Chain A
Amino acid sequence: MLPDSEVSVCTLLPDVLGTYSDGGNARVLCSRLRWRGIPARQVTCTVDQQPPTSCDIYLLGGGEDTSQLFATEWLRQHPQLCNTLADRSLTLAVCAGMQILGVSMADVHGREHVGVGLLNITTTPRRRRATGEVVSRSAEVGLLTGFENHRGATELGDDVRPLAHVLSGVGNGDGRFGRRATDGVRTDHIIATYMHGPVLARNPALADHILASVTGSSLTEIDLPDQRALRESYLAGSASQTMRGGKRG
């Protein structure tokens, strides 16, 4: 995109998804653009609206089981939007937002539901709910911190890269003996994670990674008060991993 042009950030279905404060992610992205003098436009698209198909960034939040199936159906009814998500824009999909973009997901009763099919992942219910802090490491942006609250075990297809490897917490729930669990998914056009809202407030490097790939330019640093203290408090338990050579939190 051109250096001076506006970046548009669209929150999809805040009236259906977004139970876990995911709306904050849009605010974080837009603020970080404006603080750098880049115009930002925050858009929301509710169930009864025709979705815009030319936004730069789309956000899909988490939600309850019934909301999730409703959102899947809505997306399938808007194929043009799905095309944009597949290969033109950059999408941040959180928790249920990630699951519904997959090939399929099963509800707590074991019934399988077809997903939107933009990600080669399948989700089945975990025996126990995964609730708590997650720390993970992404090759691109370093240590990530977030809170997870879900019952999904997400299996990635062979061609799919995770967003990060889990240092503590459950994430995709695919950890095996001798193998770290992964969290989320990373493709050229979709970043997905189980770290619910607002993951970008805790991880400004991830927010700026999204913004840099959309604007195509490197961005100036922003030193936000309290940000360092926030990250240190959540990453304290993972200090040893940090010292073993990951990027600094």
Chain B
Amino acid sequence: MSGLSRRVGLGGGSIIGGRVTMALDPDALRSLATRRQVVLVTGTNGKTTTSHMVAAALRSLGLVAHNASGSNMADGALAALTDALDAEWAVLEVDELHLAGVASATDPAAMVILNLTRDQLDRAAEVRRTAAAIARAVVAHPQTTVFANADDPMVVWAASEAVRPVWVGAGSVWRSDTVGCPSCGRSLTESATGWHCECGLTRPSPSWWLEDDIAHGPGVSSRLALSLPGQFNLGNALMALAASVTAGVEPEAAIAKISALSRVAGRYARIQYGRHTLRLLLAKNPAGWAATIAMLDGSRPVVVAVNAREADGRDTSWLWDVEFERLVGRVVAASGERAADLGVRLSYAGIPHVTNTDPLAALAEFLEGEVDVVANYTAFHSLYRRLERAG
């Protein structure tokens, strides 16, 4: 089926294959998931990276079904299970609003909840509502081990009813959506031991945490020397390590697999294109940008590509919550279908820039050498497909 969708040019194949099967049999996901150990990975940012890390580590235990391309709704999950009928394990990244549905069909052994910030406000109207949807999924599965980020108050609130929680101190780069307590609306108090609120919501003491790049957990105290950049990915790695070690992977094996990962569905890939070496990064919301800006290399030119299709969210206002001011002094190109929105934002940030809706054409303005390319969801995928075709 997915072979057909690839032939008729409908995209990567996995989504169409899943949709057709779902239409034929609504219980397909349920029956495909039975007798497998399913790990669901959700959160606003880091789903794809973390699920790749968990899948890599679990492969030392056996075959793993994985929606590696990032198709993260029920049909993507279904396609991944269909493609790996013999796999005893399944690692599925799941869109936050689809977690409850996918969980009820797959009865997961574990859920991994990374972080919850604003992503696409025109779709998920309020962050709290997203957290409440995740909380319902958590409550409905008392047998499921829930790996939850103790540093993210919204995640802690969503996972607070978990019967089997494992708290992971994975860090939090962007707290602007959680200015108030998720439970009562009061201001949160920050202290040396973390955050807390008068109402009682408090950072749980984590059983996994980071001390610089040393990961600590039950029986584990090891350095994480990741191939992927950034503090944010150290947090993702810790979540993946906690989940895979708990599942039964030897810590050394898990760390080796997680650390070896150097690109994730095209993200972080280095690709030669003409006289430029591109490093591809994906950032699709203010929190993702906060993590990504820290990964940008000091003096390299930057191409930023922004689309506003359905999958990106139609509303581009999030650009105003990204600290583009931190790019002052670099050579910058505004690109993507919403290059004009981005260009206006950059001008107000005091950043002279070139504007070209085509990110590869925008490169013509840059001297030869290394370039960071940061794109949001559909802009990233269309660029990556073009680069793959260009070989």
Residue of A nearest to B349 (CB): A27
Residues 310-346 of chain B, each 1 if its beta carbon lies under 8 Å from chain A, else 0: 0000111111110000000000001000011111110
Stretch at the interface among B107-115, B143-151, B177-185: B177-185
Complex interface: chain B residues within 8 A of A67 (CB): 180, 185
Q: Is A173 an interface residue (CB 8 A)?
A: no
Stretch at the interface among B26-34, B80-88, B119-127, B231-239: B119-127
Docked Cα-Cα span, A65 to B126, in Å, equals 9
Docked Cα-Cα span, A65 to B180, in Å, equals 13
Stretch at the interface among A2-10, A77-85, A99-107, A196-204: A196-204
Complex interface: chain A residues within 8 A of B344 (CB): 201, 224-227, 230
Docked Cα-Cα span, A233 to B344, in Å, equals 13
Q: Is B14 an interface residue (CB 8 A)?
A: no
Stretch at the interface among A15-23, A136-144, A185-193, A208-216: A15-23
Q: Is the CB of B125 within 8 A of A20?
A: no
Q: Is the CB of A133 within 8 A of B314?
A: yes
Q: Is the CB of B347 within 8 A of A196?
A: no
Docked Cα-Cα span, A229 to B342, in Å, equals 11
Rounded to whole Å, the gap between the CB of A184 and the closest CB of chain B is 17
Partner of B122, one of A132, A197, A230: A132
Complex interface: chain B residues within 8 A of A20 (CB): 121, 317
Q: Is A31 an interface residue (CB 8 A)?
A: yes
Docked Cα-Cα span, A59 to B32, in Å, equals 53
Q: Is A147 an interface residue (CB 8 A)?
A: yes
Q: Is the CB of A198 within 8 A of B320?
A: yes
Complex interface: chain B residues within 8 A of A149 (CB): 121-122, 125, 315
Complex interface: chain A residues within 8 A of B348 (CB): 24, 27-28, 31, 201
Tell me the interface secondary structure of chain A in the complex: mixed
Complex interface: chain B residues within 8 A of A31 (CB): 348
Docked Cα-Cα span, A51 to B314, in Å, equals 35
Q: Is the CB of B122 within 8 A of A147?
A: yes
Docked Cα-Cα span, A16 to B344, in Å, equals 26
Residue of B nearest to A66 (CB): B185
Residue of B nearest to A146 (CB): B317
Residues 19-42 of chain B, each 1 if its beta carbon lies under 8 Å from chain A, else 0: 000000000000000000000000
Q: Is the CB of B320 within 8 A of A229?
A: no
Q: Is B355 an interface residue (CB 8 A)?
A: yes
Partner of B340, one of A70, A196, A197, A230: A230
Q: Is the CB of A129 within 8 A of B185?
A: no
Complex interface: chain A residues within 8 A of B314 (CB): 132-133, 147
Residue of B nearest to A48 (CB): B187
Complex interface: chain B residues within 8 A of A132 (CB): 122, 314
Among B120-159, those with CB < 8 Å from A are 121-122, 125-128
From known contacts A21-B318, A149-B315, infer whether A229 and B122 are also in contact, taking CB-CB under 8 Å. Answer: no
Residue of B nearest to A24 (CB): B320
Residues 218-229 of chain A, each 1 if its beta carbon lies under 8 Å from chain B, else 0: 000000111101
Docked Cα-Cα span, A15 to B122, in Å, equals 21
Complex interface: chain B residues within 8 A of A65 (CB): 126
Complex interface: chain A residues within 8 A of B321 (CB): 21, 23
Q: Is B284 an interface residue (CB 8 A)?
A: no
Complex interface: chain B residues within 8 A of A27 (CB): 320, 348
* Highest count of chain A CB atoms <10 Å: which of B177, B185, B334, B340: B340
Complex interface: chain A residues within 8 A of B122 (CB): 131-132, 147, 149
Docked Cα-Cα span, A201 to B341, in Å, equals 9
Docked Cα-Cα span, A156 to B183, in Å, equals 34
Q: Is B118 an interface residue (CB 8 A)?
A: yes
Q: Is A47 an interface residue (CB 8 A)?
A: yes
Complex interface: chain A residues within 8 A of B319 (CB): 21
Q: Is the CB of B125 within 8 A of A225?
A: no
Q: Is the CB of A21 within 8 A of B128?
A: no
Partner of B187, one of A47, A133, A147: A47
Docked Cα-Cα span, A147 to B341, in Å, equals 13
Q: Is A64 an interface residue (CB 8 A)?
A: yes
Q: Is the CB of A21 within 8 A of B343?
A: no
Rounded to whole Å, the gap between the CB of A193 and the closest CB of chain B is 13
Rounded to whole Å, the gap between the CB of A109 and the closest CB of chain B is 15
Complex interface: chain B residues within 8 A of A24 (CB): 317, 320, 345, 348
* Highest count of chain B CB atoms <10 Å: which of A16, A132, A149, A227: A149
- Contacts A15-B179, A19-B126, A226-B342 aside, 18 further interface pairs with beta carbons under 8 A come to A15-B180, A16-B179, A19-B121, A21-B321, A28-B348, A31-B348, A48-B187, A64-B127, A66-B128, A129-B125, A131-B125, A198-B317, A225-B344, A225-B347, A226-B344, A226-B355, A229-B339, A229-B343
What are 8 residue pairs bridging A and B, where the CB atoms are less than 8 Å apart in the complex? A24-B317, A27-B348, A70-B185, A147-B315, A198-B320, A201-B348, A226-B344, A226-B347
